[in-house]
Structure 1
Amino acid sequence: MSSTTTERVFIIGGTGNTGTVAVRDLLAKKVPVTLYARNPEKVASLFSTTADDESALKVVQGDLQDLAPLKKALAGHTRLLLVVNDFENMVQIKTDVAEAAYGAGIKQIVDISSLTVTDAWRSSYIGTIHLESEQVLLAAAKAHGTNVVTLRPTRFLSNMLRHDRPGPTSFTDNADPDAPQGWISPNDIGAVAAVILSDDVKKHRNAAYTMVGDVITAKQRAEIFTRVLGRPIAYHQLTVLERYNALAAHLSFFPFTALYDLASMRDHSPLVSRGLVILLGRNPETFEEYVKANKQALTL
């Protein structure tokens, strides 16, 4: 693949749901990419058509516990996508990455944060660590005269493929059946990240974008699952304690305070982010569209 740009994007977290989409979109735009990944073989399997072309896709092996390989590889890159899922070390990791990246000449970081930063101050662990991370990134960007663009997604639709999978006849949550909940597709997060990383830096500057792609109730989720999967799927409402125990069984690697938040959180009048269509150039993916696209994975 022959690049048509002088940009090269460094990506941390490029093999997950969000990062994979961003990588593919950037490569389709002929923007060269460097992936920082623990497992080069996984990169090769995900991006087989370009894995052997270092001018398009280069892999730097490393992890977030030792950033020495990352720091050594940053020179020559102009942008960076930052996806970090380590709650307990997130603030320090993002601090260290920002200082290394901006010091190496990176002019824009696109950071995947969380809509929970808009919660009341210190009212949630997840919101607090994301807010602190946003603050250190913005301070670093301003100190270096560069930019950080923040994406603030709500709950991921991909949760339905993992710890919130529908069973043979039902699915569970602790929301009231008619309470609206906000959702976002990881495909849309990755797509927006790729758009920003390939736009002129001055276009987005230090923007923060809320990402809610669909708002539906648990009752509506049951109707969609039933209609698309072709079997009756009912909604079973759990108590907060039952929800906590279920999450703890599936996400035992999460810290207690994160599980506490996930089990007790409640959406407050969620609304679809009206500006998403501007960033995407299309409507965001709905809950039903995501179920249809992943029907095989949800089939028993």
Structure 2
Amino acid sequence: MTISKVFVVGGTGNIGTALVKDLLERGVATTVLVRDPSKASKLFGDNEKLSVIQGDYTTLDVYKDNIVGHERLFFQVSDMNNMAKIKTTFAKIAYEAGVKQVVDVSSGSVSAPWRKNVIAAAHYYAEKNIYELPDRGYYVALRPTGFFSNHFFGDNKTVQFKGVLFGAEEPDHKTSWISPNDIAHLAANILTEPVEKHVDMVYDMTSVRASGNDRAAAISRVLGREIKYIQIPFGEAHKNFIDHAHMPHSMVYAFLESSNDYYPVNPGLATVLNREPETLEEWFTTNKNAFA
């Protein structure tokens, strides 16, 4: 079977980097649209299967010229304020150019009540707009919950220097998590399997439910020293996020508020991943140096 060419928007982010590396390892001809080609070069090196195009969300002429000849498009968009417009525009251009399948990193929050927060609303309208495009190809939405890598928003530093995890949730309140590596791997599987297999699927992506105490215990085992979870007031957690993750209030509030939502573990993930999902402890082990 000939593997389709894949166009990737967002290829130098956490998920995008893992995806592009996975596709290249599978021998897939991959094109990435990036602001800084030198960053792509550092991440991926020289590979005859890789094409690097300089551009961003605004350089639509560049995108239109280069999407031609690709059958698959993957995107992850970070601009929350303009997400629906950006994703809809990129998908529409892709379908008109002959792309048969679009794979989108959406959010588990789309499954929550309508307009619950800015994250849920942005992803909801992006999905809705793309799904309703006339004469489109297939559209697959991945709906992950909390990324393991959210621990880099400040938890890694408090573990390093104070031996603690801080959070607004009660110590034994379980929240929903997924590894970015699993998001990338599922995307790579979808992008290399027949488009008819995944049609217009939505994949909820929660692999583990873990509390603050659970996460502290996992880090403790990896580091070989005791790490404690300490509950702090919502306002203090809000300030810490803004100060250390440099996110706007709307995003921080959505992150903190959504920790009270219930997103169950998807028992079908191993089936579509073709392996078991990565555990929190495995992820902490791989990223041990960031917490040690």
Judge same fold: TM > 0.5, yes or no: yes
* Offset from partner CA, 1:41-99 (integer Å, 9 cap, x none): 1111111151xx2xx10001001133221111111111000110111111110111011
Paired AA for residue 106 in structure 1: V
Aligned to 1:202: 196
Aligned to 1:272: 265
Aligned match of 1:152 in 130, 140, 143? 143
Aligned to 2:226: 232
Cα offset for 1:107?
0.7
Q: Any unmatched runs of 5+ in structure 2?
A: none
* Offset from partner CA, 1:7-47 (integer Å, 9 cap, x none): 11000011111111211221122110000001111111111
Contact 2:242–2:248 (8 Å) recurs in 1: no
Q: How many residues are aligned here? A: 289
Work out the percentage of aligned pairs sharing the same amino acid: 38
Contact 1:161–1:298 (8 Å) recurs in 2: no
Aligned match of 1:163 in 140, 143, 154? 154
Moved more, 74-83 or 266-275: 266-275
Q: Distance in 2 between matches of 1:248 and 1:93?
A: 25
Cα offset for 1:196?
0.2
Aligned to 1:283: 276
Contact 1:240–1:264 (8 Å) recurs in 2: no
Q: Distance in 1 between matches of 2:184 and 2:207?
A: 13
Q: Distance in 1 between matches of 2:85 and 2:245?
A: 22
* Offset from partner CA, 1:128-167 (integer Å, 9 cap, x none): 1110111011112xx1241110000011001113333234
Taking the TM superposition and a 5 Å limit, the aligned residue runs for 1:90-239 are 90-140=83-133, 143-165=134-156, 166-168=159-161, 169-239=163-233
Give the alignment's TM-score, normalised by structure 1: 0.92
Aligned to 2:13: 16
Q: Distance in 2 between matches of 1:102 and 1:163?
A: 40
Q: Does residue 33 of structure 1 match 2:30? A: yes
Q: Distance in 2 between matches of 1:134 and 1:205?
A: 15
Aligned to 1:72: 65
Contact 1:32–1:57 (8 Å) recurs in 2: yes
